[in-house]
Chains A and B, each alone.
Chain A
Amino acid sequence: MLAVWINELLQGVLLGGLYTLFAMGLSLSAGVMRFVNIAHGDFIVLACYALLLLTTALGLNPVIATLIVLPIAFLFGFVLQRFLLQRVVGENVLLVILVTFALSIIIENGLLEGFGADPEKISGGWMETATVALGDGINFGVFQGITFVAAVVLVAVLDLLLYRTGIGAKIRAVSDDVAAADLIGLSSVRIYAIAMGISFVTIAIAAGFVSIWTNFDPAAGPTRLLIAFEVIVLGGLGSLWGSLAGGIVLGIAQAIGGQFDIAWQIMAGHIVFLVVLALRPQGLFPKY
Chain B
Amino acid sequence: MSTTAASPLLAIEGVSVFYGNFRAIDHVDITVGAGEIVSIIGANGAGKSTLLKAIIGQAERVEGDISFAGDSIVGRRTEAIVHSGIMLVPEGRRLFASLTVEENLRLGWQVGRKAEIGFDDIWRQFPMLKDKRRQKAGLLSGGQQQMVALGRALLANPRLLLCDEISLGLAPLVVNELYALVPDIKRRGIGVLIVEQDIERSLAVADRFYCLLEGRVTLAGRPGDVTRDLVMQHYFGL
Chain A residues engaging chain B, CB cutoff 8 angstroms: 166, 169-170, 172-173, 175-177, 179-187
Contact A176:B96 (CB < 8 A) given known A169-B107, A182-B58, A187-B77: yes
| Contact in complex: A169, B106 (CB < 8 Å) | yes
A-B contact list, 20 entries, CB within 8 Å: A169-B107, A170-B107, A172-B96, A172-B98, A172-B99, A180-B94, A182-B58, A183-B88, A183-B90, A184-B87, A184-B88, A184-B94, A184-B107, A184-B108, A185-B78, A185-B112, A185-B156, A186-B79, A187-B77, A187-B79
Additional pairs, 11, CB under 8 Å, beyond known A172-B99, A184-B156, A185-B112 = A170-B107, A172-B103, A175-B98, A176-B96, A176-B97, A180-B90, A183-B90, A184-B152, A185-B87, A185-B156, A187-B79
Inside 8 A of B78's CB, which chain A residues have their CB?
A: 182-183, 185, 187
Nearest A residue to B95 by beta-carbon distance?
A180
Q: Within 8 Å CB of B56, what residues of A?
A: 183, 185
Whether B94 lies near A183 (C-beta < 8 A) is yes
| Given known contacts A180-B94, A184-B82, A187-B77, A169 and B99 CB-to-CB distance under 8 angstroms | yes
Q: A166-B110, A183-B94, A184-B111 are in contact. Are A176 and B82 (CB under 8 A)?
A: no
Chain A residues near B104: list those with CB within 8 A: 173
In the docked arrangement, what's the CA distance between A176 and B136, Å? 12
Majority DSSP secondary structure for residues of A touching B: helix
Query: Which B residues lie within 8 Å of A186 (CB)?
Result: 79, 107, 111
In the complex, the answer to whether B94 meets A177 with C-beta atoms within 8 Å is: yes
Enumerate the 6 nearest inter-chain pairs by beta-carbon distance, A residue then B residue, closest first. A185-B82, A180-B94, A185-B111, A176-B96, A173-B96, A169-B103
A164 vs chain B, min Cβ distance (A): 10
Does chain A have a CB within 8 A of B83? yes
CA–CA, A187 and B82, complex, Å: 11
Bound Cα distance from A179 to B87, whole angstroms? 15
With beta carbons under 8 angstroms apart, the residue of A176, A183, A184, A187 that contacts B99 is A176
**B73: CB under 8 A from chain A?**
no
Docked-complex contact A185 and B83, CB < 8 angstroms: yes
Bound complex: CA A176 to CA B97 (Å): 7
B95 contacts across to A, CB distance below 8 A: 180
B74 in the interface, Cβ–Cβ < 8 Å? no
Question: Is B81 interfacial (CB-CB < 8 Å)?
Answer: yes
Q: Which residues of B contact A166 (CB under 8 A)?
A: 106, 110
Q: Which residue of B lies closest to A190 (CB)?
A: B79
